Amino acid sequence: MIAKEDYQPALVLFGKLSVWIGLPAVIALFAGNWLDERLNTAPWGLLSVTMLAFVISMFGLVKEAMASLKNIKTPSAKDSELKKD
């Protein structure tokens, strides 16, 4: 059986990255449609807001990936104790 400590960080990272992809896309869908209806600019409002959401998603994904990579490269106290034994 796999210990919870082994897979929990991966699930947390998966959740964070999924939110960075999904949330801006859903917000862009509603905001773009609202903008198109209000200004009668279909489909340009949706397209422009979707492109903005893509940029925001990429920024967030890179930010989370770099933070996770830093955590992976930095040995934890638990790992240090195991190496001493």
Query: Containing H/E element for 72?
Result: helix 44-73
Tens-digit pLDDT profile for residues 31-76: 999 999 999 998 999 999 999 999 999 999 999 999 998 888 776 6
**2 pLDDT tier (thresholds 50, 70, 90):** confident
Q: How far apart (Å, rounded) are the C-alpha atoms in residues 82 and 51? A: 47
